[in-house]
Structure 1
Amino acid sequence: MYGAVRTLLECVGEDPNREDLLATPSRYAKALLFLTKGYQDNVENIVSNALFHEGHNEMVIVKDIKCYSLCEHHLLPFTGKIHIGYIPSGTVIGLSKLSRIVEMFSRRLQIQERLTNEVARAIMKVLNPEGVAVIMESCPLCMEIRGVEKTGATTITSFVLGCFKETSATYNEFLSLIDLNRK
């Protein structure tokens, strides 16, 4: 990867031998490996033994989970918040594990639509709840600093499964509780 970054620096008109750029290829390689560390993990390892049979069957929500990802089209970052709701079938998951699932999928080359989908499907698979709802709000840097250069635009995606998809009252309760209209 070191050589590829040196080549990129040359392509933009820089001298990779310039003192301030000498360590850039190495720093960039380390940063990219960190930003894509989600490829090194899987849901089973994350969840481990954090499933608890509590008999709980009411909605559980974790909202405002901050996440960072790289757009697979431009390799530029997008940041956002993910809101997760699920209705257990008696089994709940350690709440921090939901954030860790988000982290795993967001630390891969992504598009927001897929990220939302992957998080919801992973939770559905591991928990087998009555339903799962995932909503993501983000600000894609690729839209802000290149192309149309429109700042302040928020992209919202959602993916729902089970009772959230089948029953509008359940989905509406989730929307009300996460309160997307807050300022």
Structure 2
Amino acid sequence: MDAVLKSLMASAKSEADAAAQANAAIDASTRPSREEAEAAVRTLIAWAGDDPEREGLIDTPKRVVRAYEELYSGYRTTTGTLLDRTFGEIGNFDDLVLVRDIEFHSHCEHHMVPFVGKVHLAYFPVERVVGLSKIARIVDVFARRLQTQEHLTSQILTAIDEALKPRGVAILIEAEHMCMAMRGVRKSGASTVTTQFTGVFRDDPQEQVRFMSLLRGVRS
């Protein structure tokens, strides 16, 4: 029976890998060229009311495309390789691990303007932990894509939960959205908070309280 299950799991993984590779190939084949991207920027400059051929703007399309490569680099990065190495030398440690104040910059998928903030994440390890810098890198992978804060919250938590299979994960993201500050209602300083919990954090309200207390610097 074990052999059959292992065979089915291996087959499913192989199919999933093949599907991922096929999707990547489709994305690569349909992705506009750099020249097309630069032409699109020139069109937007002209639509805004300026002359894309004037001295100050002549190289702007190239600079914008280069900036987009950095700002949206999360589309070219996967989380699997970041979380495939864990460490088992944790002795009898069985309490939560908390990383606070992970700064991030992302872009709203509705208006393509920035939203910036901080991620706070905790998890209860089971025998193994992950390097702390890897958690910050996971945040960057998903933040450097077009996002909503709600989806960003869920993606980060799911990546940690699936890779480490801890007893629970807690995440809180607080951010300011420029689509509210720069346009529309123009309410600068408004903060949006999203949370999500799994395992013991979801099932035990006291652990949620302790998580929130630790974020405020209060020891329980």
Tell me if TM exceeds 0.5: yes
Given candidates 94, 106, 115, the residue that maps to 2:143 is: 106
1:100 Cα deviation after fit: 0.4
- State the secondary structure of the residue aligned to 1:14: coil
1:117 alignment counterpart: 154
**Which amino acid is the alignment partner of residue 134 of structure 2?**
K
Given candidates 33, 36, 40, the residue that maps to 2:69 is: 33
1:57 Cα deviation after fit: 1.8
* Cα distance in 1, alignment partners of residues 48 and 166 from structure 2: 50
**Which amino acid is the alignment partner of residue 165 of structure 1?**
R
Q: Please, what TM-score do these two structures have when normalized by structure 1?
A: 0.95
| Greater strand proportion | 1
Q: Which runs of 5+ in 1 are unaligned?
A: none
1:9 alignment counterpart: 45
Matched, 1:24 2:60: yes
Instruction: Identify the range of structure 1 (53-62 vs 150-159) with the bigger mean alpha-carbon deviation.
Output: 53-62
Given candidates 113, 134, 140, the residue that maps to 2:171 is: 134
Matched, 1:90 2:127: yes
Identity %: 42
1:180 Cα deviation after fit: 8.2
How many pairs are equivalent?
Answer: 180
Q: Using CA pairs below 8 Å that are at least 6 residues apart, which structure has the higher relative contact order?
A: 1
- State the secondary structure of the residue aligned to 1:46: coil
Matched, 1:179 2:205: no
Trace 1:43-82 onto structure 2 (pairs within 5 A).
Answer: 43-49=79-85, 51-53=86-88, 54-55=90-91, 56-82=93-119
Instruction: Identify the range of structure 1 (149-158 vs 52-61) with the bigger mean alpha-carbon deviation.
Output: 52-61
Instruction: Identify the range of structure 1 (91-100 vs 55-64) with the bigger mean alpha-carbon deviation.
Output: 55-64
Q: Please, what TM-score do these two structures have when normalized by structure 2?
A: 0.80
1:14 Cα deviation after fit: 0.7
**Which amino acid is the alignment partner of residue 125 of structure 1?**
E
* Cα distance in 2, alignment partners of residues 115 and 40 from structure 1: 16
* Cα distance in 1, alignment partners of residues 76 and 115 from structure 2: 20
- State the secondary structure of the residue aligned to 1:26: helix
Instruction: Identify the range of structure 1 (82-91 vs 171-180) with the bigger mean alpha-carbon deviation.
Output: 171-180
1:46 Cα deviation after fit: 1.5
1:22 Cα deviation after fit: 0.4
**Which amino acid is the alignment partner of residue 154 of structure 1?**
S
Q: For the Cα contact (< 8 Å) 2:41–2:64, is it kept in 1?
A: yes
Q: For the Cα contact (< 8 Å) 2:84–2:163, is it kept in 1?
A: no
Matched, 1:159 2:196: yes
* Cα distance in 2, alignment partners of residues 105 and 81 from structure 1: 13
* Cα distance in 1, alignment partners of residues 190 and 211 from structure 2: 23
| Greater helix proportion | 2
1:47 Cα deviation after fit: 2.2
What is the CA deviation profile of residues 81-101 of structure 1, one whole-angstrom value per residue up to 9, with x for unaligned ones? 000000111111101100000
* Cα distance in 2, alignment partners of residues 163 and 87 from structure 1: 8
Q: Which runs of 5+ in 2 are unaligned?
A: 1-36
- State the secondary structure of the residue aligned to 2:80: helix
* Cα distance in 1, alignment partners of residues 55 and 145 from structure 2: 32
